[in-house]
Amino acid sequence: MSALSSARPSGSHLDLTGNRSRGRAVRNVVATVLVAACFALALVPLAWILWTVASKGFHLLLDPNWWGQSQRGITSRTAGGGAYHAIAGSLITAVMCALVSVPIGVFGAIYLVEYGRGGPLARAVSFMVDILTGIPSIVAALFIYALWVTLFGFGRVGFAVSLSLVLLMVPTVLRLTEEVLRLVPNELREASAALGVPRWKTILKVVVPTAFSGIVTGVMLGLARIMGETAPLLILGPYTSGINFNPFAGNMAALPTMINQDRTESLQPAVDRTWAAALTLVLLVLVLNLLARAVARFSAVRKR
């Protein structure tokens, strides 16, 4: 009798365990199906946009003149010309923005993670970064316009556009760099400190190289964030159909303003250039991201 009574709880326990296992398996299948369906649903508009842009603008990208000529002398009624002036202007503006934004973002993140550690100044910096993250691009452009043009009396040039884009890129670079630096194990810092290495050298030789691939990814995401902005270009950088390599003088073209210039025209040559410029901008951002991945991977291989 005692053996039978002792066997019953064991059997019921096994049944409950089996029911729970089956319930977990069902929930796992349902969750997997839902996640896959949401992923596929999110891909639909992305694939649609990419297909539309590629199908309508790819034929102009096959023309060598597209990469080596500007739109000087080309009207909305005539075909021809290229996007060399806009590509050069976009790259110059982005590089100048990165030269200012990357040091500010990276050093700001290093301060928040390594030195601030929740202090009053660190909390103030973090609060201001959160505010900058939500600022619309047109507000940043109007601020630089009031400061650069109205107060100082300078002209509407490419460098002013870069300054407005700095306000948009710094929060992205700083936040992503901050998160990557926090992922660096504290054991590495403690081991370096145990060897008597100063904190600044630990950061320079241990922390930053460990998080380098993540920092590069943050910089590329920041560049992708600003490459397609149009409001700062419209307010601070008037469009020109010619080539201008000097960001401190004269009007400078960019791919977003070239798209905006041609989108108002209903004639087919201008419409084709609009789609081709949009595809060029997408490919430019894609190439920058691929280069960033290559740099990060090369750095990781060297560290091993």
d(CA 149, CA 164): 12
Render pLDDT for 5-46 as a digit per residue (tens, 0 to 9). Answer: 444 455 545 455 667 778 788 889 899 999 999 999 999 998
Tokens matching residue 240:
């020109």
Matching residue, tokens 């290093």: 110
Percent of the chain residues past pLDDT 90, beyond the cut? 43
d(CA 119, CA 129): 15
d(CA 44, CA 60): 25
d(CA 251, CA 160): 11
**242: Cα separation from own chain's centroid:** 28
DSSP string, 230-292: -HHHHHHS---SS----TTSS----HHHHHHHHHT--SHHHHHHHHHHHHHHHHHHHHHHHHH
Is pLDDT of 303 > 70?
Answer: no
Q: Against a cut of 0.85, is the pTM above it?
A: no
Matching residue, tokens 């922390």: 207
Beta carbons of 89 and 74 less than 8 angstroms apart: no
d(CA 88, CA 164): 19
Q: How confident is the model at residue 97 (pLDDT cuts 50, 70, 90)?
A: very high
In terms of Cα–Cα distance, which of 262, 270, 273, 272 is closest to 77?
Answer: 270
DSSP annotation of 9 reads H
Matching residue, tokens 């019921």: 12
**85: Cα separation from own chain's centroid:** 23
Render pLDDT for 277-294 as a digit per residue (tens, 0 to 9). Answer: 999 999 998 888 888 778
Beta carbons of 256 and 233 less than 8 angstroms apart: yes
Q: How many CA atoms lie within 13 A of 16 on its CB side?
A: 6
d(CA 81, CA 151): 38
Is pLDDT of 174 > 80?
Answer: yes
Q: How confident is the model at residue 304 (pLDDT cuts 50, 70, 90)?
A: very low
**132: Cα separation from own chain's centroid:** 15
**41: Cα separation from own chain's centroid:** 23
d(CA 218, CA 131): 19
Q: How confident is the model at residue 163 (pLDDT cuts 50, 70, 90)?
A: very high
Beta carbons of 133 and 204 less than 8 angstroms apart: no
Is pLDDT of 171 > 50?
Answer: yes
Beta carbons of 85 and 71 less than 8 angstroms apart: yes
